[in-house]
Amino acid sequence: MSTTTTRTSSRTIPIAAAVLTGSVALYLALVAFGNITDFGTNQDFVRHVLAMDTTFKDEDLMWRAVTDTALQDAAYVAIIAWETVAALVLVAGTWLWARGPHPLARRVSTYGLLMVMALFGAGFLAIGGEWFAMWQSENWNGLDAATRIFLVSGVVLLVNHLPTGQAEPTT
């Protein structure tokens, strides 16, 4: 690889990582902000998914339903807290990437992106989609949105782990 190519990739990868990580941070911050300031909208979503009241109501699955509104609301508050912390971690990762390639930038961004992927992959796709049969609901089905964010976060994670073309300082 030429010196020019090395210098270019050593600058462009951290910039790309910062912009992409920042985009996911902004998205998640807006989601958390919306859930906090308009609590009721997604509260209804979580309640319907957990109650499984718009699924096929197969008796072999309905034992999984959570109908206690206090438990439903606790789950929703936990989701909002997770979103908020993940957004803050990603903002920190973005700031670190903006300062240049550094293992700490990569590590912090990785933690934040994995938090997003855990929420949308394990939380919404696996638990919501399969355990609570969200896929059966015409009205309360967030699988497309969850898949989109899971995949975007995965791509950003990959970009965060591309070699920068220069030796990175250790922490």
Instruction: Compute the radius of gyration of the chain from its Cα atoms.
Output: 19
Cα dihedral 86, 88, 93, 99, rounded to 10, equals 170
Would you state the structure tokens that stand for residue 96, as one six-digit string?
């670190």
145: tokens are: 């949105």
- Are 32 and 87 in contact, with CB atoms under 8 Å apart? yes
Q: Kindly state the greatest CA–CA separation across the chain.
A: 66
For residue 117, give both structure tokens: 């992927």
The tens-digit pLDDT sequence of the chain (171 residues) is: 455 555 555 789 999 999 999 999 999 999 999 999 999 999 999 999 999 999 999 999 999 999 999 999 999 999 999 999 999 999 999 999 999 888 999 999 999 999 999 999 999 999 999 999 999 999 999 999 999 999 999 999 999 999 987 665 555
